[in-house]
Amino acid sequence: MSTATALPPAETGAPEPHAGLLYRLLWRWHFYAGLLVWPFVLLLSLTGGLYLFHDQVDTWWHHDLLTVPTPQASEAWPPERLLAAAQQAVPGQLLRWNPPEAPGRSARIDLLTPAGQRVWVYLSPADGRVLGQLPERGTLGWTLRHLHSLKIVGPKARALIEIAAGWTGLLVLSGLYLWWPRGRKQGVWRLRRWHPGQRVFWRDLHAVGGAAVGGVLLFLALTGMPWSGVWGAWVNQWANGANWGYPAGLRVQLPMSGQRLAEQADTNWSLTQARLPESNPGGEHAGHGAAAAPPLPEGQAAGGLPPMLDLAQIWPRVQALNLAPGLSLSAPNGPHGVWIASVYPADLSRQRVVHLDAYSGAVLLDMAWRDYGAAGRWMEWGINVHLGQEWGWANRWGLLLVCAVVALLCLAAPLMWWWRRPSGRLGVPRLAGTSPLYWRLLAWLLPACLLFPLAGGALLAVLLLDAAVLSLGARAQGAQSAKPS
């Protein structure tokens, strides 16, 4: 069995007897985890802190597009007139109608141009004046979100975020063990020095700050995983396949299309895999919990389909549903498509998605928070806290403070390493070789690696490589010691 010499008090802040093999081993793993994920954690803390206030950021940055003089209710143009004004400025097919969220806010029409571009057109609801346009999800808030998830650089790079989230768990848990007082008082609950030019300041800042926000950081890593490309998609399919994620409304016997809700409208995690029901030109099926469809509109051509309800006809039906402010109405996609009215406010109990038959206006599915399965509710609650939406301003400002502390930890870590590292070397915490404890700890990590396969596979690869390096080093040292002097 390999042995390890005690760490100097200057390195650990602890008496030498406490710096045993387990301490050294976890310190080494903490170093690896920090080395691999600190750029991502820094990016996530900066972009996440800004995204907490994306509404305020967008209102400031896109003020001319998002705000208008507060109109009287009687002055507001109907949506079909606003659509005509938007299409005059940007010829295209209606994708989505977004009424003003509150007085003083603009309306938005989403269009698909003949060239295949998706454009957001902003209008004054009082007079139909076109305020400007942006590419779909072209706001600063959406840019921050795409930076936060690395979606801006493609799906392969997004896998790095998933790996970083998994490694963050090891970083936090090993860091909490290293911080644990074990009889110490200095550098545990408060900083011993307040001079940024000294290593002990950054060491204590890293230890005290990490202990203060470690649990929240672990929570943020776990609640961010549902949106990851591999683990999140797998869990979404599993939860919905077990009827724990989809709302019960999706289990009714209705003709369902191959289209997914996420392909036609912005949606939440639980409904990412949701298939859309089909509109029926013949009006033969009624919706979930709805009365039978009314007669078809007049004007059906012989042998052809009846005309679909347009925006002017469907909008009064949507208004009668009493959805929360901030709703969005997506247009049908194809002859069997449906109108989709959806809203995802910060108050989870007011989330709602309603599918309406494109020919009759009958409600086919009406899904609310109460219809979600157990997994869907827990996931949505965690994501809501992650986004700073569950407890209002307290949630946002609390997470902003956590993001600021995490950014300081990311600054302190390389400074600590720079002062501690031996000249000309990487400065990995030394370990004489592998031991039964090394393999025992690695075995304890296996369940977590199986639960998070992408992050776990990367973790096992690095730690097994480290074990091989340690074994080779120990053999070389043993061979050197065996040579006759």
Give 155-198 pLDDT, tens digit per residue: 777 788 888 888 898 899 999 999 988 877 777 888 887 777 77
Quote the pLDDT of residue 361. Answer: 94
Please name the residues in contact with 20: beta carbons below 8 A apart, sequence gap of 6 or more. Answer: 4, 6
> Which 3 state secondary structure label does DSSP give 424?
coil
Show Cβ contacts of residue 124 under 8 Å, excluding neighbours closer than 6 positions: 68, 71, 106, 107, 131
Residues 212-252: tens digit of each pLDDT? 999 999 999 999 888 877 788 788 777 766 655 556 555 55
| 177 Cβ contact list (under 8 Å, min separation 6) | 23, 26
Q: Is the dihedral of CA 417, 38, 178, 454 positive or negative?
A: negative
Residue 226, pLDDT score? 84
Q: Are 341 and 353 in contact (CB under 8 A)?
A: yes
Sheet holding 93-98, edge to edge: 130-135, 118-123, 107-112, 93-98, 328-330, 338-343, 352-357, 363-368
Q: Does domain 69-96+107-138 have CATH number 3.40.50?
A: no
Residue 206 · residue 412 · CB < 8 Å:
yes
Segments in the chain below pLDDT 50: 1-18, 285-303
Give the Cβ contact number of residue 3 at 10 Å.
9
Decide: 76 and 88 in contact? Cβ < 8 Å: no
92 within 8 A of 324, measured Cβ to Cβ:
no
User: In angstroms, rounded to a whole number, what is the distance separating the alpha carbons of residues 411 and 42?
Assistant: 8
This prediction has a pTM of 0.84
pLDDT at 275: 83
Give the integer Cα–Cα distance in Å for 190 and 419.
21
Task: Indicate the helix (H) or strand (E) that contains 385.
Answer: helix 374-386
CA dist., res. 122 & res. 182, Å (int): 60
Parts of the chain belonging to CATH 3.10.450 = 69-96+107-138
Contacts with 355 (C-beta within 8 Å, 6 or more apart), sequence order? 276, 277, 287, 338, 339, 340, 363, 364, 365, 366
What pLDDT sits at residue 269? 83
Return the ∠ at Cα 211 (arms to 422 and 453), rounded to 5°.
80
Structure token digits, residue 386 = 């992650």
